[in-house]
Amino acid sequence: MRGKWWVPLLLLVVIAAGWAIGRYTAPSPSAGGSAATEQQELNGGTSTAAPGSEVSPAPSPSGAPGGNEVRQADTEPDSIGVIVNKQYGLEEGYKPEDLVYPNVPFIFKEKIEKRMLRKEAAAALEEMFAGAEKDGVYLAGVSGYRSEATQTVLFDNYVKRDGEEKARTYSAVPGHSEHQTGLAIDLSGRDGKCAAESCFAGTKEADWLAQHAPEYGFIIRYPEGKEAITGYMYEAWHVRYVGKELARTLTEKGLTLEEYYNAVPVSK
């Protein structure tokens, strides 16, 4: 026993060495947290999933369900895609600067304001009339551009005749009429029958417009079945120029401008 006094001493040395090695090689309790934080920042603030767990797909960049794009309503008066309805109006006294007289037949002879359209829309209208004639359909203009003053007179007369609630289902309050943009026009057959009236629906002219107007950049602005969305009764005669690309998109997807710009529902 006396000759092995060095054994306990050796044991103490081994224990001390092991303690020292463990102290300098053990990971810091905070190291894992720092790495996770850094990775979270690289992932755009999303915490890293544990091994074996299911990772949920990232939300759509658009923020809309199913990835549908959310668009801001176009309220620029001079824009071809401008939305003008019960919710979105025009600045007081707005008048387009490029109004022209399209070279197409109208149901009246006078060269007055309602015969005008904006230049781009007028050119498209001429092409559409020519295309219709090739198919044996003869269209005529009824009412194009309409000033705010004219709309005021019309709306007031409708209110006196039918009451304001009913008038609002087929006529716009001043400053909220598409006609004031110079991009909308009411159409009929060359004989003028059923001009701007419900009986125009179902005519060969109305059917042709519904099928072919988008080819020229026009849409049926207040389609059947969308009354609660547009705020207006079905008007087979009222076409609106939006350009060929937007007209094609709206037609293919069955959308109104309100739905396209997510401006639903409209106020009454």
Beta strand ranges found along 31-136 (DSSP E)? 99-100, 117-118
Catalytic residue among 148, 178, 235, 258: 235
Query: Residue 246: which of 264, 260, 262 has the closest Cα?
Result: 260
Active site residue 235: yes
- Reference 174, options 84, 101, 113; nearest CA is 84
CA distance 131 to 214: 12
Q: Do the strands 117-118 and 218-222 form a parallel or antiparallel pair, or are they unpaired? A: unpaired
Pairing mode, strands 117-118 and 235-241: unpaired
Number of continuous H segments (helices) and E segments (strands) in the chain: 9, 6
Cβ-count burial of 239 within 10 angstroms (0-12 exposed, 13-18 middle, 19+ buried)?
Answer: buried
Q: Which residues are catalytic?
A: 235
